[in-house]
Structure 1
Amino acid sequence: MRCLWLTRKYPRPINSGELIYSDGLIRSFAEAGVELTVIAHDNSDQAVGDGTHFSEYTDEQGVNWRLGTPDLGGRLGSLLTSLPGDAYRLKNGGPEEAFRKALDDETWDAVIIDHAAIGWALHVLREKNLHNGVRPRPRIIYISHNHEAKIRREIASKSRDPLLKKTILKWDAEKYARLENELCAGADLVTAITDTEVDAYRENFPEQNYLCLTPGYHGDVYPDHKITEEIPRRVIMSGSFEWIAKRMNLEIFLEKAALPLALSKIELQIVGKTNPRFCAQISERFPSVNFVGTVPNMSPYLLNARMGLIVEELGGGFKLKQLDYVFHNLPIAGLECAVDGLPLQSPEEILLERNTEDLVHGIVETIDDIDHLNQMRASAFEKCSSAFRWEDRGTRLADAIADLSK
């Protein structure tokens, strides 16, 4: 099976949840025996191409990468188009030209659109079918990372930005929603990251074919790690804090939790990639919080805390850091609305509460109960140890695409 995959950028080095998901799916899909070509922008952190609008790279799996520029252009031009800002940036700088050429010159069994921001590719496919025909017509697969209509509208409505910027956010959210609807209506198969999001899509597109693809895990595993009295009374929040939704969620949590945790002499540590200016602003507002920023290896921090936090009030989906916590044998404390896709029960295997105030209270009550913390992390590790294998995801995706042709 010959497949053309379009994603945002070459996902290595991996420094965000969205790159973890794309990289894991691409690697496991390639291992499923398909012939795979990927079109994307190069990675601005560590480019593998020559920096031009079109360069090629073959990775260790034999996947052919056709790469555009490492740096993306601005979003301003998107205001004059039907595309959201992200989609406008991602189609320019090489990927759209490479996609058109690939459709003109080669035959594909499937085209995989990885993320709603790559929805511009659907417009190209429609144009080709209308004017020239794509021979034979490839199956179209939409890989969803979030229910974009829900999360983008939520972000725009809760934004604290000035009126003009908030208006632009709302306009962009509606563009995302329209593009997502086009993908759900026009694809032959839609995948989602949780069953909850499959159900949300099915409400509007009940006749569509769906496949739930929760993430796998291929990071470091610490099966023998235990919580001890020597570990500081510390809770940690890891991840990337570059996207506006991530920053908003962080601020919402800190406004409610930073002071009560500090008063209980519990250290709150934030570790992960973020804008230095944002980090400085937040550090000034919340001086009791330990902002570490970008680190080369998250493991030393995860192994030196008593609980890992999942506290995003806005948006949904599967939080990739959940698996980092589980496989580092770190007990999880989170909000019920934020934790989705883990087969864990509270309070035996995870600490879940409906709101931040109750969660902080639960953390304070649990932080010194070493026996319970070890019960939580051991039970979670055992239940998840064989449930999140990337190779299973790639095989299931390949099988689902093959079934479309039967």
Structure 2
Amino acid sequence: MKSIFITTSKIGAENQGDYIYSSQIFNVLNKSELVDLFSFEQKNNYLAVLLFFFLPMMWVRNFSLTLCMKLLKERDDYDVIYLDHYRCAWVSILAKLLNKKIFVFNHNLESSVYRSLSKSSEASIFKRVFCFFEYTKVYLTELVVFRIISGLSSISGDDIPEWARVKLLVLPPYSSEPFKFVGSPNKPTAIIVGSFHWRLKQHNLQVFLDAFYEVYKQNPKDCSVIVAGSAPSSFYNSIRNEYPFVTVIDGFNDLSELAGIATIGVCPDHAGGGFKLKTLDYFKLNLPMIAIENGASGVLEPVVPSFNTFQCLAKEVYSLLGDEKQRHSLFQKQNSYFLRHHSEDAFLGKIRVFSER
């Protein structure tokens, strides 16, 4: 007997966090057992969303009749069904009727995401009401799904509900080995890597840069802040003009292109939940890192110093830029942690124990 892995992610793609994590799960499962892959794309069928308004929108948009027919026709071929992300968890109801073991790999607790968005002061009243409605639907389905499945794995301990009474696993993503490079920047440099298309992420970045600028003006020294990633050109033009210490790298093809150009990584974004993949980026770049509160969520040990205000974060970044000894000490502690908890071997071992029949 074999298993099937069901996903809407593009397995093998590395341009999006969901795709990277899904690929890691599938590749590791495929090393330990025979696993078929069923991948399909999310649909923008909003008419169906309106007709089935009482179901979570993500379930309606990620429904596949082809998948239903496949599972029914080949029900004797699979003894285990792996569901990647809660958007595919509607399959668990059909799988339960077919008496199959079901394991859900949840990237985050969807109900908590909608709940936090429904309370966000950054969102309009319409969006907050919509998110509360979705939160209610998702939460009610979670109450059912997380009781009929065989196991629930999540990227972060914060995304596993306390009331779930199934086999549980906290499975943070793994990282490949850090880049090997020779050289260092000409002056102390902080780097912020990310995608800044979402207004809230732009806002968080600008609040940090404002706070950093205040410290910079009080005690000027030769240093810089690199902002690397994708964003609207108007946003990048704005921060170039406003902050004299900022250098923008507008997109890059591979993370290795950023190796050796900075001395510390910064996580100024506290939006969302789950695991902040930015921490793995800084690990691969051989950089110590610090964060705003919740900016390094998902890290299993308190190795990333986090600050509850952007002013405190900016002061600490500015201080570390001038303190090589402290940077080295922070790097050693963080490097040891990531090598222990975010290696492919550790990831493989956890999944094997989790998916044991």
TM-score, normalised via structure 2 length: 0.85
CA-CA distance at 1:239 after TM superposition: 3.2
1:159-211 superposed Cα distances (whole Å, 9 cap, x missing partner)? 5344333332332333333333332122111112233333xx12x22x22211
From the superposition, tell whether residues 122 and 380 of structure 1 become closer, same or farther in structure 2 (CA, over 3 Å): same
Distance, in Å, in 1 between the alignment partners of 2:266 and 2:291 is 6
Cα pair 1:112 1:142 within 8 Å, conserved: yes
Q: Does 1:119 align with 2:89?
A: yes
Cα pair 1:116 1:179 within 8 Å, conserved: no
1:240-294 superposed Cα distances (whole Å, 9 cap, x missing partner)? 456x5xx52x2342342122323416544333345x4xx5346537743555343
Cα pair 1:256 1:356 within 8 Å, conserved: yes
2:145 pairs with one of 170, 183, 187: 183
1:316-366 superposed Cα distances (whole Å, 9 cap, x missing partner)? 3221221221132111011343324435555xxx43223222111111111
Q: Does 1:298 align with 2:255?
A: yes
Q: Does 1:29 align with 2:1?
A: no
Root mean square deviation, CA, Å: 2.8
1:389 pairs with one of 343, 348, 352: 343
TM-score, normalised via structure 1 length: 0.75
Q: Which runs of 5+ in 1 are unaligned?
A: 42-67
2:80 maps to 110
2:167 pairs with one of 196, 209, 220: 209
Cα pair 2:196 2:202 within 8 Å, conserved: no
Distance, in Å, in 2 between the alignment partners of 1:170 and 1:292 is 37
Supply the AA of the counterpart residue of 2:4: L
Distance, in Å, in 2 between the alignment partners of 1:283 and 1:365 is 27
From the superposition, tell whether residues 255 and 273 of structure 1 become closer, same or farther in structure 2 (CA, over 3 Å): closer
Cα pair 2:276 2:296 within 8 Å, conserved: yes
- State which drifts further: 260-269 or 316-325: 260-269
2:49 pairs with one of 78, 82, 96: 78
Distance, in Å, in 1 between the alignment partners of 2:50 and 2:69 is 24
Identity of counterpart residues, as a percentage? 18
Supply the AA of the counterpart residue of 1:213: L
Cα pair 1:114 1:144 within 8 Å, conserved: yes
1:153 maps to 115
Instruction: Write out aligned runs for 1:314-333 (5 A).
Output: 314-333=271-290
CA-CA distance at 1:2 after TM superposition: 1.2
Instruction: Write out aligned runs for 1:222-301 (5 A).
Output: 222=179, 228=184, 230-241=185-196, 247-248=199-200, 250-263=201-214, 264=216, 267-274=224-231, 276=232, 280-281=234-235, 283-284=237-238, 287-288=242-243, 290-301=247-258
2:104 pairs with one of 99, 124, 142: 142
Number of paired residues? 346
2:294 pairs with one of 308, 321, 337: 337
Distance, in Å, in 2 between the alignment partners of 1:254 and 1:240 is 11
Cα pair 1:331 1:376 within 8 Å, conserved: yes
CA-CA distance at 1:142 after TM superposition: 1.2
From the superposition, tell whether residues 110 and 86 of structure 1 become closer, same or farther in structure 2 (CA, over 3 Å): same
Distance, in Å, in 1 between the alignment partners of 2:43 and 2:248 is 28
